[in-house]
Amino acid sequence: MARYIFITGGVVSSLGKGLASAALGALLQARGYSVRLRKLDPYLNVDPGTMSPFEHGEVFVTDDGAETDLDLGHYERFTGVSARKTDSISSGRIYSNVLEKERRGDYLGKTIQVIPHVTNEIKDFLRIGEDEVDFMLCEIGGTVGDIEGLPFFEAIRQFIHERPRGQCILMHLTLLPYLAASGELKTKPTQHSVKELQSIGLAPDVLVCRSEHPIPEKERAKIALFCNVRPESVIPAYDLKTIYEAPLAYHREGLDQAVLDAFGIAPAPRPNLARWEDVMDRLTHAEGEVRVAIVGKYTQLEDAYKSIAEALTHGGMANRTRVKAEWIDSEIFEREDPAPHLERFQAILVPGGFGERGTEGKIRAAQYAREKGLPYLGICLGMQMAVIEAARNLAGMTDAGSEEFDHEAGAKRFTPVVYHLKEWVQGNHKVERKVGDDKGGTMRLGAYNASLKDGSNVARVYGATEIEERHRHRYEVDIRYKDKLESCGLIFSGMSPDGRLPEIVEVKDHPWFIGVQFHPELKSKPFAPHPLFADFVRAAVEVSRLV
């Protein structure tokens, strides 16, 4: 049966609970243990799938088709363990499940209350797969004291109380603010945060204290005394140059040892950190630099493209090259010539997105890359924009566009080379969708297979002709235009196994121009860079050498 580590946060949000959880998972793996990481979010959305990227950053998609918080991306990148639907839950999903059971009569006419019905639903979620791993790490979103988080904290209190002693611990992240006027680190916010936890029946076993300044031993001892933890369980968390330094940094500060001591595991296996030492060596000893333009419309919030940014970093590590990614608002290209903005870059990436805003600028970015011979990677909508660009400028279909934009505008303006996907095959059954369906969870989601064309550039990149990648879209390139576009030099080099859905396009006689309907960035890891990103950066390096 798994040991449980509950990770909570206090004082302020965005302290790095997700990163600390992921780094701890990596350290436990380095000691030979198996781990699974989970996220419990207090918001009332059923999942983040319908949230704006400006609200919550990117949506991370699992192989089995769950739309989840971006922290699950951190978990996968640091541990290599593929996340599942059962690794993410929100208050909205919990309440939805409870209300469905009430409507079915499962509660036999009882009055439905937060305790026990909501808390039992949370505990049932925590128990899923508990016999599969050595450690289950469960991160609770938000901060202690948030009203919407109280049912989760109560459920955890009950869960810990019901388990055998020593099977669960609590790790709490807090902030130690520095007051420049007095030149002091202040411990009171941490003390109050722990006091808030204790008031709801929870006591931390390990405290991780985020600080911009070194924490003196005197302050650590003070925190330990007033927060009722051992001094060696007060772990400093300092700002890092790269998130991939986190496992080594936390190990230096004794986080993994403090956790194992809290469980009474002694002697503990020694960690093998060679994987993370190699990651840091590749990051800190880069032999060159390339500049990649990411042309999108959520550029004000980099978390909207979090996995893409990390996958580019991984691609750079594979080539021992530093990737300098710059975010360019695609709407600029609807008013201005792209050339002055893009000529200083060695490669262009157009990511996914929804809606018509900024798409004409993305089309112009794809045209610039195609005509100038610059490496181009189009992801999801970025592939569709490349197809529309080729249809307009190579196949003479000047009114080519996407049905998505006509649906949004409520008027037919385009010849739809991209259409609303109404049915597809998932496993052994057919999925059907209508334009008017609810938005949440109705896209083509999760892992699907694709067959690659022998001799194509993308088959060379993958070193295979059968692949599996994660999808998140409801519009698809129309296969009816395949022959016309291929006769103009746009090759459909990847298709769904039944040959009905285009998965990959590439431009013939171009150094590197690939568009993919799926999201390869979701499967990239620092110790296993995705082949598309690794080869994309390699092609950018070639361009940099020619300049």
Q: Is 84 annotated as a binding residue?
A: no
Of the listed 74, 172, 473, 519, which one is catalytic?
Answer: 519
Instruction: Determine the pLDDT at residue 401.
Output: 87
For the chain, give the mean pLDDT.
91
Task: Work out the pLDDT band at 546, boundaries 50, 70, 90.
Answer: confident
Instruction: Determine the pLDDT at residue 487.
Output: 95
Indicate if 138 belongs to the active site.
no
Asked if the model's pLDDT at residue 443 lies above 70, the reply is yes
Of the listed 67, 219, 310, 521, which one is catalytic?
Answer: 521
| 276-280, 356-360, 467-471: range with lowest mean pLDDT | 356-360
Indicate if 213 belongs to the active site.
no
Instruction: Determine the pLDDT at residue 144.
Output: 93
Q: Are residues 446 and 526 in the same domain?
A: yes
Domain closes at, from 254, 278, 302? 278
Indicate if 521 belongs to the active site.
yes
Mean pLDDT of 261-269: 93
Q: Is 355 annotated as a binding residue?
A: no
- 218 within a domain of the structure (yes/no): no
Instruction: Determine the pLDDT at residue 257.
Output: 96
Q: Is 186 annotated as a binding residue?
A: yes
Instruction: Determine the pLDDT at residue 432.
Output: 63
Instruction: Determine the pLDDT at residue 369.
Output: 96
CA contacts within 13 A on the Cβ side of 248: 15
* C-alpha 54 chain-centroid distance: 15
Mean pLDDT of 389-411: 88
CA–CA separation, 143 and 145 (whole Å): 6
Q: Is 306 annotated as a binding residue?
A: no
- 54 within a domain of the structure (yes/no): yes
Residue pair 73/37 in contact (Cβ under 8 Å)? The answer is no
Asked if the model's pLDDT at residue 456 lies above 90, the reply is yes
Instruction: Determine the pLDDT at residue 51.
Output: 75
Instruction: Determine the pLDDT at residue 423.
Output: 63
The pLDDT tens digits for 284-322 are 999 999 999 999 876 666 677 889 999 999 999 999 999
The pLDDT tens digits for 95-118 are 999 999 999 999 998 999 999 999
Phi and psi angles of residue 107, each rounded to the nearest 5 degrees, phi first = -95, 5
Instruction: Determine the pLDDT at residue 437.
Output: 58
Q: Is 359 annotated as a binding residue?
A: no
- 129 within a domain of the structure (yes/no): yes
Q: Are residues 418 and 506 in the same domain?
A: yes
Instruction: Determine the pLDDT at residue 301.
Output: 62
Q: Is 72 annotated as a binding residue?
A: no
The pLDDT tens digits for 45-99 are 888 777 766 666 788 999 998 899 889 999 999 999 999 999 999 999 999 999 9
Which CATH number do you get for residue 117? 3.40.50.300
- 86 within a domain of the structure (yes/no): yes
- 410 within a domain of the structure (yes/no): yes
Domain closes at, from 224, 252, 278? 278
CA–CA separation, 233 and 191 (whole Å): 15
The one-letter amino acid code at 386 reads A
Q: Are residues 109 and 250 in the same domain?
A: yes
What is the model's pTM?
Answer: 0.91
Q: Are residues 264 and 386 in the same domain?
A: no
CA–CA separation, 235 and 244 (whole Å): 18
Q: Are residues 342 and 383 in the same domain?
A: yes
Domain count, the chain: 2
Q: Are residues 372 and 513 in the same domain?
A: yes
- 402 within a domain of the structure (yes/no): yes
Could you list the beta-strand ranges (E) of 354-422: 376-379, 400-402, 415-420
Q: Are residues 432 and 337 in the same domain?
A: yes
Mean pLDDT of 484-497: 95
Domain that holds residue 364: 286-546
CA–CA separation, 133 and 149 (whole Å): 26
Q: Are residues 395 and 493 in the same domain?
A: yes
Of the listed 245, 380, 510, 530, which one is catalytic?
Answer: 380
Q: Are residues 300 and 408 in the same domain?
A: yes
- 199 within a domain of the structure (yes/no): no
Token pair for residue 125?
């979620």
- 234 within a domain of the structure (yes/no): no
The one-letter amino acid code at 503 reads E
Q: Are residues 439 and 377 in the same domain?
A: yes
Task: Work out the pLDDT band at 426, boundaries 50, 70, 90.
Answer: low
